[in-house]
Amino acid sequence: MHHPFQATNAYAIEMDLKDPLNPFRKEFHFPQHQGKDVIYFCGNSLGLQPKNVANAFETELTTWKEMAVGGYFNGTNPWLYYQECLKPALSKLVGAKEKEVSAMNGLTVNLHLLMLSFYKPTAKRFKIIMEAGAFPSDQYAVETLVRLFGLNPDEAIVEIHPKDGAKTLTTQQITETIKATGDELAMVLFGGINYYTGQFFDLASITKATHEAGAIAGFDLAHVTGNIPLALHDWNVDFAAWCSYKYLNAGPGATGGYFIHESHLDNPSMNRLAGWWGNEESTRFKMEKGFIPKKDASGWNISTAQVFNMTALKASLELIDKAGIHALREKSIVLTNYLAYLLQQLTNINFEIITPADPAQRGAQLSLYFKERGKEIHSKMIESGIIVDYWEPGVIRVAPAPLYCGFADVFRFYEILKNNF
């Protein structure tokens, strides 16, 4: 359905008044520029701080101060099970059963650990398919993984490039490459959304094609979790990992999350690098030799829950859960469509939106590609109180996160660009 948008401040204000999620804006701290909230369109890089976070830290600091080691069992949120209390909210965001998700480490650490469980190269079947231009950490992770197995990255890694001057991939191109790689394919490891183009991939189709080729489907969902609702369980995705400092607003370097499909959880022969924290609860304190994994995703936990690295995540998830991922997505589609509509009215600056126009193929983010002056325009935006980020070559990423951004922000952004550039 086409929305009858208007390029007026009155329209933007009216849209904010009608938005049921608008009150959540008051739950966040905005950096200031000349005495006003900045226009913050960088939640795809680092989400804003929720106001309930300071209190959440205070709670854990008090527990540590007053109970010390007793906090593991008797604190307000017993630390022994801290990661368990994140599961209900996380499972809703990614469309999983609670036993299929957990939280630990950082994103790339989790990708490494999961790939070591799922990548079982043979002389015939050893290739990994990725999107070309995946975020460097994913490229490095896969490159070093195949080297660990004594393989040559140039032979083992298949990258899919856009065709004929296109900036994005088609689902058909991806599934055809999977099919063509066939019985040489061991694993597909795609970003759910490409960080540079903002393209959201059809994860269900990619997974289906991967399984038809007899391979494992894994995804880096850094830009998807908390942005677009997922159905990882129903799509039969094998594994996935995400960070929590972008759309989950859990702060810099906060603990990452991961998903492992139910079909793998009860398989005792699954390889893993284990630790005490993944061991079966009932025998954990027997302190015996012989690892017996928990029969859920927590069986991959290695170390003690990083409580202070999870505190902001727990607090933020309470807000996200209250808003609801489907309501957030509904608003996000209209908000980003409005941003695209306004950008198309601009005649004074020359750029191309390289993110797909179809809302089903994108999240909150639009990537604006500037043939020249991109860096200079980015600096000017920052000076004008607009927080966005720049990536070589020539892309400024603009992402109005629906939990705390509104239509008036998008209109102010457009007005500044129209009048000052």
**Does a structural domain hold residue 195?**
yes
End of a domain among 321, 351, 385? 321
Q: What is the CATH number of the domain that holds 149?
A: 3.40.640.10
Quickly state the pLDDT bin for 241 (edges 50, 70, 90).
Answer: very high
DSSP reduced 3-state for 198:
coil
**Does a structural domain hold residue 395?**
yes
Which of 105, 107, 112 is CA-nearest to residue 149?
Answer: 112
- State residue 328's pLDDT score: 98
Claim to verify: residue 235 and residue 345 sit in the same structural domain? no
End of a domain among 321, 337, 363? 321
**Does a structural domain hold residue 50?**
no
In the predicted structure, residue 114 carries a pLDDT above the cut 80: yes
In the predicted structure, residue 211 carries a pLDDT above the cut 90: yes
End of a domain among 272, 288, 321? 321
Q: What is the CATH number of the domain that holds 399?
A: 3.90.1150.10
Judge contact between 75 and 314, C-beta under 8 A: no
Claim to verify: residue 217 and residue 309 sit in the same structural domain? yes
CA-CA distance, 6 to 214, in Å (whole number)?
50
- State residue 353's pLDDT score: 98
Chain centre distance of CA 136: 15
In the predicted structure, residue 2 carries a pLDDT above the cut 70: no
**Does a structural domain hold residue 51?**
no
- State residue 269's pLDDT score: 80
What number is the average pLDDT over the span 63-68?
98
Claim to verify: residue 92 and residue 201 sit in the same structural domain? yes
**Does a structural domain hold residue 171?**
yes
Range of the domain at 209: 57-321
**pLDDT above 70: percentage of residues in the chain:** 99
Claim to verify: residue 395 and residue 343 sit in the same structural domain? yes
For the entire predicted model, the pTM comes to 0.97
SS (H, E, C) 356-392: CCCHHHECCCEEEECCCCHHHHHHHHHHCCEECEEEC
